[in-house]
Amino acid sequence: MNKIKSILIGILLIVSILTIVNPVSAATITVNPGDSIQTAINGAAPGDTILVNPGTYNENINITVPNLTLKSVAGRDSTIIGPGAGANQNTVISIQAGLGTITVEGFTVLLSPDKISGYHPIGIGQRMGAGAGTASHIFNNKIKVTGTLRNGIQVSGENSQIVGNIVEGGPLTADWGSSGILIATTGTAKNILIKDNKLLGEMDYGIGIITWGTSGGEVLDTIIEGNIVEKTVYAGISIGGKVSNTIVRNNIIKNNPVNGLEEIHTNYYGYAAGNPTGTKVWYNQFYNNGKDIDIYDDPNDSYFIGEPKLDARGNTGCPTTLPMNKFLKIFQKNFEKNHGNGGNASTVD
């Protein structure tokens, strides 16, 4: 009997060691036209990758599986998600809290032209209350607006990255503004990267960094780098609320009729507790904006008279005609990711 026990214990030890040495690997799930991406997500395990073949997938996606990668096989030009149907059109791809790192890469996200009551359309959205425990990596997508827009891409989680996307614009309502890319939180969000995106205009704000709610919330250490932001209604880049240590560098900010960049020192019009501090605006190209940089003041702001509200240095005017070397450099690598190395970045739409 003791010998049998010893043998069983030995087998269990061997199995345990093999499990540690060779753990169950994450699966790759393939979705084809006619299949449901949401069904694939519902059947996925933490850490899985879902690869989506070219086609149009008219549905709304809700990501609830930890550490999931959702990626197109052939790039954003041939793989379309949305707009879905009914009230679910509010957000085409939703990302929830507590999921580790979520990656969404290589899709055209199509917003609906429908004017639904209370409809605030978002392309890829991690809402203000969904930031805890989820870093959203949003890479090389295109947000296509056919009606109204709330936010093209919205994230709220620490260590999120928004890289290489194209966002079309549009209005929302007379009372509420639209943004191409929005960082917004009621909690704490830090170390967010917004890089190499193209904001095509017609939205109220190109890139917004804000906090919301008078009970708290803070955004820290955001980097806005290498983006092209143009033809917005009110501001190319807007910063408001308790937002600290934002770096805005090496962007092209042009043809914004009101402001290229604005910083709002009014507790974000009374919707937030605090004002921006430590903003650095370095080595950007500004051209043909109503004002390149503007600051809205509050007499009760914590800054004392004479203290600089942001550090602006090395900024220059943009070239007025193509080819723009900066423009081509920013988009060459993004074009190659979606079309291969043989393409010409000047033809990127």
Ordered by start, the domain boundaries in the chain are 27-342
Closest C-alpha to 210, from 288, 148, 155: 155
Q: Which residue has the tokens 């081509």?
A: 328
DSSP 306: T
**Domain 27-342, architecture per CATH:** 3 Solenoid (2.160)
Taking the CB of residue 48, how many other CB atoms lie within 10 A of it?
20
Q: Tell how far CA 81 is from the center of its chain.
A: 16
Query: Which residues in 246-255 are b (16+ Cβ under 10 Å) and which e?
Result: bbbbbbbbbb
pLDDT of residue 265: 83
CA gap 65, 47 in Å, rounded: 8
Strand ranges (E), 128-227: 134-139, 142-144, 151-155, 161-163, 166-167, 179-185, 188-190, 193-195, 198-199, 205-211, 218-220, 223-225
Q: Are 287 and 263 in contact (CB under 8 A)?
A: no
Q: Is 330 helix (H, G, I), strand (E, B) or coil?
A: helix
pLDDT of residue 117: 56
pLDDT of residue 174: 59
Q: The tokens of 69 are what?
A: 């990668």
CA gap 228, 35 in Å, rounded: 36
Q: The tokens of 283 are what?
A: 């080595």
DSSP 272: B
Closest C-alpha to 239, from 227, 255, 224: 224
What parts of the chain have a pLDDT lower than 50? Answer: 5, 7-23, 303-306, 320-328, 330-331, 334-335, 342-349
pLDDT of residue 199: 96
pLDDT of residue 173: 67
pLDDT of residue 114: 67
pLDDT of residue 171: 77
Closest C-alpha to 59, from 32, 87, 34, 92: 92
Closest C-alpha to 290, from 250, 235, 239: 235
pLDDT of residue 306: 44
pLDDT of residue 317: 81
- Cβ burial of 20 (10 Å; 0-12, 13-18, 19+) is exposed
Q: Is 95 helix (H, G, I), strand (E, B) or coil?
A: strand
